Amino acid sequence: DAGVIQSPRHEVTEMGQEVTLRCKPISGHDYLFWYRQTMMRGLELLIYFNNNVPIDDSGMPEDRFSAKMPNASFSTLKIQPSEPRDSAVYFCASSRGQLAGVPNEQFFGPGTRLTVL
Amino acid sequence: AQSVTQPDIHITVSEGASLELRCNYSYGATPYLFWYVQSPGQGLQLLLKYFSGDTLVQGIKGFEAEFKRSQSSFNLRKPSVHWSDAAEYFCAAPFSGGYNKLIFGAGTRLAVHP
Q: pLDDT tens, B1-23? A: 678 999 999 999 999 999 999 99
Mutate to test the interface with A, among B102, B104, B108, B109 (most CBs of A within 10 A): B102
Q: How many helices (H) and strands (E) does chain B have?
A: 0, 12
**A59: which DSSP letter?**
T
pLDDT band at A110 (very low <50, low <70, confident <90, very high): very high
- As a whole number of Å, the end-to-end CA separation of chain B is 41
The pLDDT > 70 percentage for chain B reads 94
> Are residues A106 and B32, on separate chains, in Cβ contact within 8 Å?
no
* Residue B60, phi then psi, degrees to nearest 5: -85, 165
Specify the range with the lowest mean pLDDT, choosing from A104-108, B16-20, B63-67, B80-84. Answer: A104-108
Q: Hey, are the CB atoms on B98 and A55 less than 8 Å from each other?
A: yes
More confident: A112 or B102: A112
A98 or B22, which is more confident: B22
- Please state the rounded mean pLDDT for residues A92-101: 84
CB-based contact (8 Å) between B59 and chain A? no
pLDDT score, position B66: 95
Please judge whether B98 and A56 are an interchain contact, meaning their C-beta atoms are less than 8 angstroms apart: yes
pLDDT of residue B31: 77
Q: How confident is the model at residue B52 (pLDDT cuts 50, 70, 90)?
A: confident
Task: For residue B32, give the nearest of A95, A103, A111 by CB distance.
Answer: A103
Segment B59-75 shows an average pLDDT of 94
Phi, psi angle pair for B36, to nearest 5°: -120, 155
pLDDT(B98) > 70: no
Name the B residues in 9-28 with CB < 8 Å from any A CB. Answer: none
Are A103 and B46 inside 8 Å of each other by CB? no
Sorted by sequence, the CB contacts under 8 Å of residue B110 that are 6+ apart come out as: B10, B11, B12, B13, B19, B21, B81, B85, B86, B87, B88, B89
Query: Contact at 8 Å (CB) between A23 and A75?
Result: yes
CA-nearest residue of chain B to A33? Answer: B101
Nearest CA in chain A to B34: A105
pLDDT of amino acid B94: 84
Of the listed ranges A51-55, A82-86, A96-100, the one predicted with least confidence = A96-100
Between strands B108-113 and B10-14, the pairing is parallel
pLDDT over 90, % of chain A? 85
Round to whole Å and give the CA distance between B17 and B99. Answer: 36
Chain A residues within 8 A of B107 when measuring between CB atoms: 42-43
- Which tens digits make up the pLDDT trace of B24-39? 998 766 678 999 999 9
pLDDT at B97 over 80: no
In this prediction, residue B28 carries a pLDDT of 64
The stretch A42-54 carries a mean pLDDT of 94
| Chain A: residue whose CA lies nearest to B39 | A110
Please report the pLDDT score of residue B30 as a whole number. 66
Choice between A103 and A13, residue whose per-residue pLDDT is larger: A13
**pLDDT for res A102:** 76
Instruction: Please report the DSSP string for B23-54 in residue order.
Output: -EEE-SSPPPEEEEEE-TTS-EEEEEEE-SS-
Question: Residue A2's pLDDT band (boundaries 50, 70, 90)?
Answer: confident
